[in-house]
C-alpha cells in the first residue's frame, strides 16, 4: 500500500484486470449511467438556454457539468415559463451536485488497487483547490457503494426524465419565447 504522495501511474487493476472484473463491470455501469444522465441535462440546457428566450439568463454553453448546472438553475428560478418546474429542478440539481462529486471519484481518479476478497477498490486523486493549491485524496470504496451510486444515478435520471416530459412540449416552448 502506498502513502498519500505516491501515485501508481502503471500497474494495478487496469494492467492486470482479471482479479477485478466485477469492479470494471460496476465502473462501466457507473460511467454509462452517468453519461445518460448528463446527456439529459445537456438536452434540457440546449432546450431552454437560448438568447431569444432571455438576454439576462442566456450564457454561452459550457463544457463542464457543474457549469451547466450553474446556468440551468437560474432559468428555472427566474423565467416565467419555467417557474412551475422550479421546485422539481432545484431538488434534482441539488442531487446532481452531490452525485457529480462521487462521479469524479470513480471516473477521474487513479484506480490503484482492488481487493477481490473484500471487494474494496482504492482510488487516488489530485484535486485542484484553486490558487495553485491541490489536495491529495486516497479513498477506499466498497463495491456496494459504487452499486448504490449507480442506482442513485438511475433514479435521478428517471426523476429528470419525468420533468423532461413536461418541459419538452410545444406549450412550454411557446411560453419560453414570450417576453
Quick: pLDDT tens for 94-153.
999 999 999 999 999 999 999 999 999 999 999 888 899 999 999 999 999 999 999 999
Predicted TM-score (pTM) of this structure = 0.89
**Helix, strand, coil percentages, rounded to 5, for the chain:** 60, 15, 25
Give domain limits for the chain: 28-176
Lowest mean pLDDT among 22-26, 27-31, 61-65: 61-65
Amino acid at each position: 500500500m502506498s502513502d498519500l504522495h505516491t501515485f501508481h501511474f502503471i500497474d494495478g487493476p487496469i494492467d492486470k484486470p482479471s482479479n477485478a472484473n466485477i469492479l470494471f463491470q460496476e465502473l462501466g455501469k457507473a460511467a454509462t449511467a452517468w453519461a445518460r444522465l448528463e446527456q439529459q441535462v445537456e438536452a434540457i440546457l440546449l432546450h431552454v438556454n437560448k438568447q431569444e428566450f432571455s438576454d439576462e439568463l442566456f450564457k454561452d454553453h459550457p463544457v463542464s457539468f457543474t457549469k451547466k448546472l450553474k446556468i440551468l438553475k437560474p432559468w428555472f428560478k427566474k423565467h416565467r415559463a419555467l417557474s412551475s418546474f422550479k421546485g422539481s429542478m432545484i431538488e434534482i440539481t441539488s442531487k446532481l451536485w452531490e452525485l457529480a462529486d462521487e462521479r469524479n471519484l470513480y471516473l477521474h481518479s487513479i484506480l490503484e488497487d482492488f481487493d477481490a476478497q473484500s471487494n474494496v477498490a482504492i482510488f487516488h486523486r489530485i484535486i485542484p483547490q484553486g490558487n495553485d493549491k491541490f489536495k491529495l485524496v486516497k479513498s477506499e470504496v466498497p463495491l456496494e457503494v459504487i452499486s448504490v451510486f449507480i442506482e442513485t444515478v438511475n433514479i435521478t435520471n428517471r426523476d429528470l426524465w419525468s420533468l423532461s416530459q413536461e418541459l419538452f412540449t410545444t406549450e412550454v416552448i411557446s411560453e419560453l419565447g414570450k417576453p
